[in-house]
Amino acid sequence: MAASGEALSPVSDEPQLVARATRGDREAFAALVERYADQAFAVAYGFLQHVEDSEDLVHDAFIRALERIDSLQPGSSFGAWFYRLLVNTALNRRKYLARRRMEEVPITATGGASPALDSERAELRGRLTWALSKLPAELETIVILHDLEGFTHPEIARVLEIPEGTCRSHLSRARRMLRDLLKEYQHHG
């Protein structure tokens, strides 16, 4: 998982898997998919907040990765390259879905909690989803990767191809903006 630093750090056999996948070895690519699928779904869900859409997004991102794997520079981290592709695909997909649906906010079951608590959680999820959607795309991406998915600043910097210091300052700015947006929502919502 990203939180432990494994998501973007090449595993010892990863360069060999990438080299084999580049030569068309489907089993090698399947091993890469297996390695990154769970975290990819978590990242996709952080953007889309919908299970089926997230599954479709991950599937599409892996297909794009297979089609473009020969563009991965030798020695580069497959994880960082793939997550960059996934994030870009997620941002594009979310724009498409937003046009298709009118800001549908998912409500998930809370496993036996009271209806009042379910309602409160749904309201909180709605507020947070609304506030995140108001951030510029790069700031939203950093918040999702760092605060929701546990990526470290160096990992995010590699995925987004920005300096680590920029990542830190963007996260700080995004959190300030979220606080302001949530205050605004509370006063006007």
Q: Which residues contact 6 (CB under 8 A, 6 or more apart)?
A: none
Domain that holds residue 70: 2-106+114-188
Q: What is the rounded distance in angstroms from the CA atom of residue 117 to the CA atom of residue 102? A: 25
Burial classification of residue 7, based on how many CB atoms lie within 10 Å of its CB (0-12 exposed, 13-18 middle, 19 or more buried): buried
CATH number at residue 140: 1.10.1740.10
Total domains, the chain? 1
Q: What is the rounded distance in angstroms from the CA atom of residue 1 to the CA atom of residue 145? A: 12
Average pLDDT of the chain to the nearest whole number: 84
Q: What is the rounded distance in angstroms from the CA atom of residue 89 to the CA atom of residue 83? A: 10
pLDDT band at 171 (very low <50, low <70, confident <90, very high): very high
Three-state SS for 108? coil
Q: What is the rounded distance in angstroms from the CA atom of residue 53 to the CA atom of residue 44? A: 8
The residue with tokens 């297979």 is 66
Q: Please write the tens of the pLDDT for every residue from 111-158.
A: 555 777 777 777 877 888 888 889 999 999 999 899 888 889 998 998
Is 0.85 topped by the overall pTM?
Answer: no
Return the structure tokens found at 136. Answer: 């510029």
Q: What is the rounded distance in angstroms from the CA atom of residue 152 to the CA atom of residue 163? A: 13
pLDDT at 189 over 70: no
Q: What is the mean pLDDT of residues 27-50?
A: 93
Residue of higher predicted confidence among 133 and 110: 133
Neighbours of 1 (CB within 10 A): 12
SS (H, E, C) 110-176: CCCCCHHHHHHHHHHHHHHHHHHHHCCHHHHHHHHHHHHCCCCHHHHHHHHCCCHHHHHHHHHHHHH
Flag the least confident range among 5-9, 22-26, 62-66, 120-124: 5-9
